[in-house]
Amino acid sequence: MPEALGENTYQIDTGLYRPQLAACYLIEDRGELAIVDTGTMHSLPRVLEAISAAGARPEQVRYVMPTHVHLDHAGGAGQLMQACPNATLVVHPKGQRHMIDPSKLQAGATAVYGEQAFARDFGTLLPIPEPRTLAAADRQCFELGARTLQFIDTPGHANHHGCIYDQHSAYLFTGDTFGLGYSEFWRHGKPLLLATTTPVAFDPDAWFSSLDHMMALNPEACCLTHYGKIEQPQAHVEMLRDSIRAHVQIALAEEPLDPEGRHERLHQAVARHMLDMGATHGALPADQILAILESDIELNAQGLAVWLARRAKKGG
Ligand SMILES: [Zn+2]
């Protein structure tokens, strides 16, 4: 069942891999709905259930707004758009063509996850007709009932990433740009925030300025895809900055070394960083951290290797 977050905002567990790994969000105002992030095609029944729990019908969905086109956020966008005939897909200009023709996205994700896991977890990506999509400009506003949702360009985790700011609630829907903050890792009322450097467009400098832009909005809460609502985000943002900096250090320490064995070394260093953060945060047990972050550690290691390759191409 969707969880009410106040301000006619609902959190939906998309059901990817395990409970509370990935969320998407439903906002309702005067009978109009917006859905931020979509989960995968397998999440569709949960989103439809949330729509009906909010007392609405899929025809009332005005916007579908994936924060970026990574598949845990946008893999089910095509199916959701089919189910919501009046919706417009609002998407980052650099993500738009991948929603219209998802074949490159499918090939890229198959390379990251492997063919079998891709088929099992993400199934089929459906193309979305171009006239139903809208490439959002930075700061572009979208009316929803009596409130305004604003698209904020937030590159860093990915160059096709935007956050959605609800000017009525002051909730900021952050996709992956406020990092990973899994529910299991809350201690003493504080989240543990970790960077996510998924392939292929990690850009630490862009990420730091995106965080500046986000915090300048003075949001009441950040709503993370991974996972849930974090109030007073200013109190926690430094932890995320630390984790981004640590990932940069890990990659730069690797840069001069022989590429042979690179992936294993990056993987181990990322795991060590997460264990250190967990230990400092509240003595989280190492086995729990490794179990919950297993796939993130692997993706972060892959993403850092891609970042190093991009730096090498540019001549450092
Ligand atoms: Zn992502």
Per-residue pLDDT at 111: 86
- pLDDT average, residue stretch 254-276: 97
pTM to 2 decimals?
A: 0.97
> Omega into 200 within 30° of 0, i.e. cis?
yes
Residue 178 CA, ligand 1 centroid: distance in Å:
11
Given a cut of 60, is residue 307 above it in pLDDT? Answer: yes
Q: What is the CA(176)–ligand 1 centre distance, in A?
A: 5
User: For residue 275, with 0-12 CB atoms within 10 Å meaning exposed, 13-18 middle and 19 or more buried, which class applies?
Assistant: middle
Q: How far is CA 95 from the centre of its chain?
A: 13
Edge-to-edge strand order for the sheet containing 133-135? 3-4, 9-13, 23-29, 32-36, 61-65, 88-91, 133-135
Bond from prior residue into 227 cis (ω within 30 degrees of 0): yes
Q: From the CA of 164, how far away is ligand 1's center (Å)?
A: 15
pLDDT score at 283: 79
Q: What separation in Å is there between the alpha carbon of 77 and the centre of ligand 1?
A: 15
pLDDT for residue 113: 83
Residue 169 is predicted with a pLDDT of 98
What residues does 224 pair with on adjacent strands? 175, 228
pLDDT in tens, 58-74: 999 999 999 999 999 99
Q: What is the pLDDT of residues 75-112, one digit of tens each?
A: 999 999 999 999 999 999 999 999 999 999 999 889 88
Backbone angles phi, psi at 314, to 5 degrees: -75, -5
Distance 225 CA to ligand 1 centre (A): 9
How many angstroms does the Cα of residue 146 sit away from the middle of ligand 1?
A: 30
Cα 31 to averaged position of ligand 1 atoms, centre (Å) = 30
C-alpha 38 to ligand 1 mean position (Å): 13
pLDDT at 157: 97
Is residue 278 scored above 80 in pLDDT? yes
pLDDT in tens, 222-247: 999 999 999 999 999 999 999 999 99
Give me the pLDDT at residue 52, please: 97
* Residue 164: predicted pLDDT: 98
In the predicted structure, residue 18 carries a pLDDT above the cut 70: yes
**Which of 66-80, 112-126, 148-162, 260-274 shows the lowest per-residue confidence on average (mean pLDDT)?**
112-126
Q: DSSP character for 60?
A: G
Q: How sure is the predictor about 210, in pLDDT bands with cuts at 50, 70 and 90?
A: very high
Which residue, among 219, 227, 232, 85, has the nearest Cα to 150 in the 3D structure? 219
Q: How much is the average pLDDT of 308-316?
A: 87
Average pLDDT of the chain is 96
The residues pairing with 91 across neighbouring beta strands, listed in sequence order, are 135
Q: 106-120, 121-135, 297-311: lowest mean pLDDT where?
A: 106-120
Confidence of residue 145 (pLDDT cuts 50, 70, 90): very high
Say whether pLDDT at 196 is over 70: yes
Between the CA of 79 and the centroid of ligand 1 the distance, in Å, is: 19
CA separation for the pair 234, 125 (Å, rounded): 36
What is the band of 123 on the pLDDT scale with cuts at 50, 70, 90?
Answer: very high
Average pLDDT over residues 210-229: 98
Distance CA 190, CA 95 (A): 33
Q: What is the mean pLDDT of residues 17-30?
A: 97
Decide if pLDDT at 208 tops 80: yes
Å from CA of 217 to ligand 1 middle: 22
At 95 the pLDDT is 98
